[in-house]
Amino acid sequence: MTTTKPIEMFVRLVVPDNIALTAKHTLLKMGFKLADLKRADYYKFEVELNKDNNINKNNTAKNSIQEQLSKVDILANANKHKVSFEKERQGTKILVTELDATGQGLLHTLRERLGLTQVHSVLQGTLWAFTGCSEEDTVKMTKELLINEHYQEFRVLQ
């Protein structure tokens, strides 16, 4: 018997992120107060795991899939990215996604070309992590600079 579980993957640059730095300095020039702004590529996969009474086998399967996903070069380049499966605890996180994003192209590539048939769905977006400001200010900054409401949407992640 099998069950599906969500796996969140965060891909950050190892070198300084010029996009995040530019956005931070622009927000500061716009009069907003914030201590830092970080950006990561965000992926949420629904993966099929073998359901077993032994939780260690289930975790081993999840870790194996995480290892496979972290090595997929279309998601992360080992020379310039750091992959994590844990959300940073500090700050307010805003996930920006496209309105009509289905993830079907990436899902097809993962399943058909790369053989990751245990992946059933993909959500991708950009995760912005704000520190040193309130959630209300974070939402204002996102609306004023980080999204285009004609084709993007955002939500606060806990």
Number of domains in the chain: 1
What was the pLDDT predicted at 109? Answer: 94
The whole domain housing 67 covers 2-157
| Confidence band of 58 (pLDDT split at 50, 70, 90) | low
Distance of alpha carbon 2 from alpha carbon 107, whole angstroms: 19
Hunting for tokens 């969500």 — which residue is that? 6
Please return the burial class of 29, using the count of CB atoms within 10 Å of its CB with bins 0-12, 13-18 and 19+: exposed
pLDDT tens figures, 96-155? 999 988 889 999 999 999 999 999 999 999 999 999 999 999 999 999 999 999 999 999
What percent of the chain shows pLDDT beyond 90?
Answer: 80
What is the mean pLDDT of the segment spanning 83-107?
92
Closest by alpha carbon to 114, among 45, 54, 57, 55? 45
Report the length, in residues, of the chain.
Answer: 158
